[in-house]
Amino acid sequence: MIRGLVMVLCMTADFDFRLDLTHRPRRLRRTAALRAMANETDLHVHNLIQPLFVIDGDGASEAIESMPGISRLTIPLLVQECRELADLGIPAVALFPKLDNSLKTDNGREALNPETLVLRAIRTIKNEVPEMVVITDLALDPYTVHGHDGLFDVQAGDLINDATVEILAEMAVLAAEAGADFVAPSDMMDGRVGAIREALDKNHFEKTSIMAYSAKFASAFYGPFRDAVGSASSAGTHLLDKRSYQLNPGNRREALVEVALDEGEGADVLMVKPAGPYLDIIREVRDATELPLAAYQVSGEYAQIQAAAQNGWLDLERCRDESLLAIRRAGANMILTYFARAYAESLRRT
């Protein structure tokens, strides 16, 4: 009945009626060509960084159940993946190791082994795919039995800041020796960017860049990542409490303080993590600095889009692309995203 009434009204409407409008923004949305001409934000493959998880051995990859389409890769498979990513135009990868639990200790000493997994992976990638920019994470969570990002004082229930920074600086030098283009401290310890810069320069690695996780929030969106690197299984929970070092999700001004400190200590690129729930922070950081800005679309953001799409509730490609475009629009120059390869492949199909 309602449909019939609408049809009658449309048939009898006075189509000569005109609103007295000076501005009609829809004029520039009328056709695809006009929309393209008026477009304000572009998303290119070269804006994307693919995070990769590496495991030891020469066998098959290991699927990560909580991250559909993402697997842990042995070094030979990692090299193959980097070749294919480079062919797709993706300029950089960020490496995260998953170690056997037998290598994990309270103090994470495996992180300083010159032959540890991630350093072997860096050397192999830079030898086999030299054009690929390699970013390596600096934090102790893959190496510790407790799953925290640094040395942990059990009695105090908190991390030991300065001793952790000393280890991170040593890790940075080892990564630079292996050929990493960027070291990326993700631990949120006070003073670590300055200490890392000093250690790199002292050891003649002035060309090695620092991508600082400057505004990393104590987010609930990290769960699948903790599965991927094994920090959840070693700690026995996804719900590691990292609020004594990661940022309070409600604190905007504190995030800007952290960003300013990292810039002052010599960071080359600043980062906001997570991305989607913190678009306002990305925008504020973009307005506060002239440095390049990265944002990390984290595992939980990826997993929720994948899960909704698998249930038929969302269009996977459209939601993926919209989420990435929003991060670019907020001001990020580069986006770490598990969608990087899929996005690049979709462009090849068009």
> Which amino acid is present at 124?
T
Instruction: Write down how long the chain is.
Output: 350
What local confidence, expressed as pLDDT, does residue 237 receive? 52
Return the pLDDT at 2: 58
- Residues in CB range of 314: below 8 A, 6 or more apart: 305, 308
Nearest Cα neighbor of 265 from 166, 197, 350, 346 is 197
Residue ranges of alpha helices (H) inside the chain are 2-12, 32-37, 75-87, 117-128, 161-178, 192-202, 223-229, 231-235, 252-265, 279-288, 299-310, 316-330, 340-349
Q: Which residue has the tokens 């993700």?
A: 186
| CB count in 10 Å sphere of residue 159 | 21
Q: Which domains does the chain have, with CATH numbers?
A: 44-349 (3.20.20.70)
Confidence at residue 1, expressed as pLDDT on a 0 to 100 scale: 53
Who contacts 283 (Cβ-Cβ below 8 Å, separation ≥6)?
330, 331
Which amino acid is present at 178? A
Strands 152-153, 158-159: pairing is antiparallel
DSSP 316: H
User: What phi, psi does 155 have (nearest 5°)?
Assistant: -65, -40
Cα–Cα distance, 335 to 41 (Å, whole number): 14
Number of helices (H) and strands (E) in the chain: give both, helices first.
Answer: 13, 12
Q: Do residues 125 and 132 lie in contact, with contact meaning Cβ atoms separated by under 8 Å?
A: yes
- Report d(CA 194, CA 200) in Å as an integer: 10
Looking up tokens 């995203």 gives 337
Q: Which of 98, 104, 126, 216 is catalytic?
A: 216
Spatial CA neighbour of 103 closest among 92, 112, 94, 95: 112
- Residue 124 and residue 332: Cα distance in Å, rounded? 30
Q: Would strands 62-63 and 71-73 be described as parallel, antiparallel, or unpaired? A: antiparallel
Q: Tokens 């600082």 label which residue? A: 212
Model pLDDT, residue 116: 98
**pLDDT value at residue 3:** 60
Catalytic residue among 98, 104, 126, 273: 273
216 is catalytic: yes
207 among known catalytic residues: no
Is there a contact between 207 and 197 (Cβ–Cβ < 8 Å)?
Answer: no
DSSP 181: S
Q: Between helices 75-87 and 117-128, what is the axis angle to 10°?
A: 40
Q: Which residues of the chain have pLDDT under 50?
A: 8, 234-235
pLDDT digit string, tens, across residues 275-312:
999 999 999 999 999 999 999 999 999 999 999 999 99
